[in-house]
C-alpha cells in the first residue's frame, strides 16, 4: 500500500514520483471528503441563506477577547473539541490515553497540503471569533459564545494547515480566501451556513465576495 504524501515544502523530482504522488493525493482527498464538516449546504440553499442574512457595517471590536469564547471544551471522556475535529478530519488517526493524536494524516483543503503531525494542523473557526464578535456575538451570553466556538453540528470547524490559518486571521471572504481556488465554492457555502445558523450579520463587501465565490460553483 502506498503511504499518503507528506507536504515537505520542497520540489518533487522525477516523473514517476509525480505520478505516484498525484495518485495518492487523489485517494487522500477522497478520504478527507468523507470526513468533511457537517451541514455544508447545497449551492442553491447557500444562495437562499445568503440573501436572507442581515447586511450591516462592521461592528466594533471593543471588548473582544478570545477568552469570551471558551474553547476547547470536553466532548467525550478525555477528548475535547480540537481533538474530536482532528479525528474527524484526519485519516488513520491514533490517539493516546489523553486523546492527543500521536499519528495520522491530515489533508488541508485550504491549500492542498498533507501533514502527518497534528502540530502542523490548526482547527480553523470558519467564521473567526473576532469576526463573529463584530457581527453580533458581542451581545451573546458567554454560554452561547462557547457553543459557537465549539460547534460540531455545523460547518464551523475544520482542520487546516496552521500557517494558512494564521494568514486568515479574523478576515472575512472579501479580505481573504483559501489559496486553493478550487475550494472557494465549498468555503463560501460553509461561511454562509455558519453565519445563517448563528444569526450573524454580513457586510456589503462580504456579501459581494460570497456571491462571486458561489458563482464559481
Q: Model confidence over 174-185: pLDDT tens digits? A: 999 999 999 999
Q: In angstroms, rounded to a whole number, what is the distance separating the alpha carbons of residues 105 and 103?
A: 7
pLDDT at 114 over 90: yes
- Partner residues linked to 115 by β-bridges: 106
Please give the average per-residue pLDDT across 97-112, as a whole number. Answer: 97
Residue whose grid cell is 480540537: 82
Nearest CA-CA partner of 6 in 96, 110, 116: 116
| 52-76 mean pLDDT | 97
Share of the chain above pLDDT 70, in %: 84
Looking at residue 45, its pLDDT comes to: 98
Mean pLDDT of the chain, nearest integer: 88
Q: How many residues does the chain have?
A: 217
Residue 14 Cα distances to 20, 121, 157, angstroms: 10, 28, 37
Portion of the chain with pLDDT greater than 90, in percent? 83
Rounded to two decimals, what is the model's pTM?
Answer: 0.84
- 24 contact partners, CB below 8 Å, separation of at least 6: 2, 3, 4, 5
Amino acid at each position: 500500500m502506498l503511504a499518503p504524501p507528506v507536504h515537505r515544502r520542497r520540489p518533487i523530482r522525477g516523473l514517476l514520483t509525480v505520478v505516484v504522488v498525484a495518485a495518492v493525493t487523489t485517494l487522500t482527498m477522497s478520504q478527507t471528503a468523507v470526513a468533511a464538516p457537517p451541514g455544508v449546504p447545497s449551492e442553491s440553499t447557500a444562495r437562499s441563506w445568503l440573501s436572507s442574512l442581515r447586511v450591516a457595517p462592521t461592528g466594533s471590536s471593543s471588548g473582544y477577547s478570545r477568552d469570551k469564547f471558551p474553547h476547547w471544551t470536553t466532548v467525550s471522556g478525555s477528548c475535547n473539541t480540537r481533538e474530536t475535529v482532528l479525528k474527524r478530519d484526519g485519516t488513520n488517526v491514533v490517539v493516546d490515553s489523553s486523546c492527543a493524536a500521536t499519528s495520522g494524516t491530515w489533508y488541508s483543503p485550504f491549500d492542498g497540503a498533507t501533514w502527518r503531525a497534528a502540530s502542523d494542523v490548526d482547527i480553523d473557526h470558519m467564521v473567526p471569533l473576532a469576526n463573529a464578535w463584530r457581527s453580533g456575538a458581542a451581545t451573546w451570553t458567554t454560554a452561547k459564545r462557547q457553543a459557537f466556538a465549539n460547534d460540531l453540528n455545523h460547518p464551523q470547524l475544520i482542520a487546516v494547515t496552521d500557517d494558512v490559518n494564521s494568514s486568515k486571521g479574523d478576515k472575512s471572504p472579501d479580505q481573504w480566501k483559501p489559496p486553493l481556488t478550487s475550494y472557494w465554492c465549498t468555503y463560501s457555502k460553509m461561511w454562509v451556513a455558519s453565519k445563517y445558523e448563528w444569526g450573524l450579520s454580513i457586510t456589503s463587501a462580504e456579501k459581494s465576495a460570497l456571491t462571486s465565490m458561489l458563482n464559481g460553483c
